Every structure is written in structure tokens, then in C-alpha cells.
Structure 1
Amino acid sequence: MREAAAVDASLRRPGSALRGPVFGVAEQDPSVGPEWRVLKPMVNGTPQICRETPNGPGGPMAGATRAGLRDFAYRGVRFPGDVRRDRSGAVLTHPGIVLLPACFGVVERERTGWEPALALRPTAHDARRVLYDAMAEMWPMLYRFDESTKALYAKAAEEFRICRAGRLVRTGPDGPEPAAPVRRGRVRAKIHPALLEDGTIIHDG
């Protein structure tokens, strides 16, 4: 039946393209019947997101986590003063906490501890793939490494780890907290040199 339905669908909608697997949340309630009922749209790219947020993280642990984060703000001297002031103010203006799906990133061992190295990804596998692609392909190509430098980077890969990052959004009477001016105007560190349309690589002095 599945194959026949697929053929029929391809004839009815010949312009459709295969997107790949998507995931949602379904429930089977014996009191209603043997069928599965879809509770959340089948739109997520990974099953992990569905597992962590069918109705937002719940239960005693999630409640304890939200309570513990309600007064959280950046207070260490490593953060600029305007960032510390902005985060302290958000505790008062947006005291509510909404936990977002966990994500994963690459961290690098520095003199002061482990520091973020690359962008956050939805799964640990994606984070590992980004690290491998960067060190084995992207960086050697961008910087035109010789063979000895490539070998050094392969060894340096041992100094990276995959971390699990929890995320949250603060909420208040007027809804979710908007992006703070100090975050909107802050220039992010560049991972790679600028690449012009003609292929020219611009190295910052």
C-alpha cells in the first residue's frame, strides 16, 4: 500500500521534491483507540528536538532548573560592564524563564579553560561534523596549509570537545525579552577571513 500510495502521489503532484525525514510527536491513548494521534507537526529535522520539547521541558527537574536560572546574570569580570548591567536589568524586567531545546557546540582548551570555538548545532553529530570539516577541509583550503601544517591541525583536533549547551529565553509582562542594544551592536569575532565574490581572500591586518 505504501508503494502504491507513493506512486499515486507522484502522479498527482509531479513537481514535488523529496525533503527527507522529519519528526514530530504522536500519542497512543488506549482509551480512545489503537490509532496514533499526531500532537505536534511533523516539521523537526531531528528526533532529539521532539523528545526534549513536546510541550516544553517539564517535570520537577525542569521546574528546578527554571527556578535556579531566574536570578542568573553575567557577573564575572570577564564580561564587559555594559553586558553585566544589561543582564542584571533583564532579571527584573523579564523574570520568566522558557527553556529552549539543548544544542551542541565545539569547545577548545585554552589557558583559562574550555572556550567556544564554532557555532552551535542541533545535534552532537552535527557539531563533530562541523569541526571535522573545518579542520580537515575548510581551514587548510582557506589558509593553503602545507602537509606539515595539516598534520599539526589533525593533532590539534584532540584538544577539542563537544559540549551540550542549555538555552533559555526570558519573558516578562510584555512577552519575550527583545535583543538588547549591547548585543545588537556588538561585533562578533570572525572565524575566517573575508572572501570577495571574485574569490579574493582578505586577511585582516
Structure 2
Amino acid sequence: MDDDWKRQIERLHEGLVRRDDPAEWVTEADAVQASYRYPHLMLRGPVFGLAVQDPGASADWRLVRSATSGTPQEARDGLNSLLWFQAKDDTDDPGVRRELLAAVAVLEREPVDELTVLGVRYRVVRGEEFARSGESGLEPPRPTDPEPADRSWEGRHDTPSPDLGFALVPGREDGLMAGAMRLALRGFAYTGARFPADVRKDSARARTSHPEVVLLPVGFGVVERSGPGWQPQGALMATPHEARRQLYSGLTEFWPLLHKFDDREREQYAQAGEEFKAAGRADEVRVADTLYRICRIERMIRCGPDGPEPPRPSDLDDYGPTKMHPRMDEDGTLHHGE
């Protein structure tokens, strides 16, 4: 452990002692236990989001779209929609609308990762998603992970994404273990022959160009294992219970329709779903040869002198820019079908 690492760990510890918050100490102890039970990091791959730097509000970069997209173009599409709806709903000034629509037109033609519009900088940002693992597999939720006030099982009662408005400022993590994780991840890079050479090269370069790390809010998702590895199922949720509700809905509603189950399979999945629901705070359920688990998901974004890291040259898209919304005049008139 070098001197810089030691000094930063000591500062984190001093801050934790100074706050003297019993609940925080319990959370910290929970994190320490998890580091022993799930000592390995399992990388899922890159995720992309959208950040904004508004000089009129703050010098910090903040997320305005959650960092959960699988490709850069998905995040660019999010920027396209954000600006289009600003032009449609947020202004009556033709000049303001004209500038917003000019930026939309650029996004319809070009795979740009940064735009300045009305003095505000928007950037597609790149992160990494990973989970911890141990002898029993991927890490489930921890006892100290917060649950929503409404823990119903039907309908949509999703907590707003904690990504929205999150400041991408290194060193603001809560707790000693989170700070230690951030410091450890500064040296992370893709290695091994399973990664293409250009991916490894870009990853190594990012350690220098964007040396700092920001840990994003923890999320929760459904994973399944029917063979040697785990596969994600569904979206990242803000709380463990919302991920449990997603799993319950999958077992009892969506997967039987999606996979065209026969009567026996539908009954099997429905029974498993009801047993999972009745258990209350269960984190896994088995159906035939498939194990489903609620998994704790962590993410990070690299930052450099000019802010968060954008997509890398080796990051791939499934499709390119496209027209997403009807044409709009500067007076706000929409032209459908054009």
C-alpha cells in the first residue's frame, strides 16, 4: 500500500469516526462482511448514461439519464429526446426552440457524444457495471440496503432512479469501504485474450486520461443460472424489493407469455412465483433447473480533468443515429408523418 493510498484511507476513516453515526457503522460492518463473503468482482461490461454541466447551476457534472444503457447510441437517443421535449414543452421562445431543434438535427445525423446547447454541456458518459461474487455465487442484497416504503407486489411503484441528479465528483462516497473500493478501481483495466486488442488498449489509456473513479448508486437486478454462468434478466432497479417484484412478475406473467410455456410450465412458474412472494424478503427461487437470484449491482464512471469519460473508440453500437420524433417548427407546430 503506497503513501497516497494510506493517506486517503486515513482521511476516510477519520471522517467516519467524526460523524459518529451508529447506523453508518452498522452499514460499514455489513460492507466489511460482504467483502469477505464475496471477495471477487464479476465484470458485466460497459454501461452508458447522459451527464450535464450547467454553469448556471453548478460546476459539477450531473447525471440526467441513468447510466444503464447498453450502447452509446442508446444514450445519444436519450439526449435527442431530452432536447426535443425541451423544445416542445419547456419554452415559448422561437429562438430557444430553434437552437434546441438544431441540436436534435445533429443527433439525428451524427453519432456525437457531446453537445453544448444554450450554454449547457451535455455528454454521453461511459461506466462499468459489476457484481461481487463468492463461493455461493453473486452477492444478493445486504440487510442494510434500503427498501421502499411501499412494498406491494402488484402494479408499478418504482422508486425514481437515484442516478438522476447524481454528481460525478470523485471522493464523495459514503463510508470507508466504498472509499477503499474507489481507490482500488483506479487501476482497473481490461486484460486477457478474451478482450480484443483495441478494447484492452482503450482501457489501459483510460487509466491515464481519466484516472479518478466515481461509484454510482447501487442497483438491484434479477439474474438467472441454468448452466455454468449467471445471466441478467430485466432492468436495474433502485431497491431490492422492486427487483423482487420484477422477478415475481416475470415468473407469473411475462416469461410464460414470452417463452410460450405450456400449461405444465405455466403452473410450475406460477407456483414458484407465489412461494417466492409469500416468503416476503427472499432473494432467490428455483424453477426446475434454473436458479433465479436478486443480485446487488455496482457501477463506476471514470473522470478526468475535463469531467466524466465519454464512450471509447472500441465501444460498439447496434445501430446508428435516426430520426425519432416528428418535425417541429420554431413556433412549436408538429408535423406528423414527415
Give the TM-score range, shorter chain: 0.5 to 0.7
Shift of 1:72: 0.9
- 89 and 61 in structure 1: CA distance in 2 versus 1, 3 angstrom threshold: same
CA distance in 1, matches of 2:208, 2:226: 34
Shift of 1:181: 3.7
Shift of 1:114: 2.7
Name the residue aligned to 2:240: 124
Name the residue aligned to 1:173: 305
- 129 and 65 in structure 1: CA distance in 2 versus 1, 3 angstrom threshold: same
CA deviations on 1:124-147 (whole Å, 9 max, x unpaired) are 111122222123211222343221
Residue pair 2:224, 2:233 contacting (<8 A) in 1 also: yes
CA deviations on 1:27-62 (whole Å, 9 max, x unpaired) are xxxxxxxxxxxxxxxxxx759959xx8994234323
Shift of 1:92: 1.7
Aligned length: 141
Give the counterpart of 1:102 among 218, 235, 238.
Answer: 218
Among all aligned residue pairs of Structure 1 and Structure 2, give the percentage whose two residues are the same amino acid.
49
CA deviations on 1:154-195 (whole Å, 9 max, x unpaired) are 4249601111111111001121001224334257xxxxxxxx
The one-letter amino acid paired with 1:165 is: I
The one-letter amino acid paired with 2:203 is: R
- 105 and 66 in structure 1: CA distance in 2 versus 1, 3 angstrom threshold: same
- 115 and 178 in structure 1: CA distance in 2 versus 1, 3 angstrom threshold: same
Unaligned runs of 5+ residues in structure 1 are 1-44, 188-205
Give the counterpart of 2:189 among 62, 65, 73.
Answer: 73
Describe how 1:1-205 pairs up with structure 2 within 5 A. 46=159, 49=162, 56-153=172-269, 154=272, 155-156=287-288, 159-186=291-318
CA distance in 1, matches of 2:177, 2:245: 31
RMSD: 3.2
Residue pair 1:135, 1:157 contacting (<8 A) in 2 also: no
Unaligned runs of 5+ residues in structure 2 are 1-157, 273-286, 320-338
Shift of 1:64: 1.3
CA distance in 2, matches of 1:78, 1:136: 37
Shift of 1:66: 1.2
The one-letter amino acid paired with 2:317 is: G
Shift of 1:103: 0.5
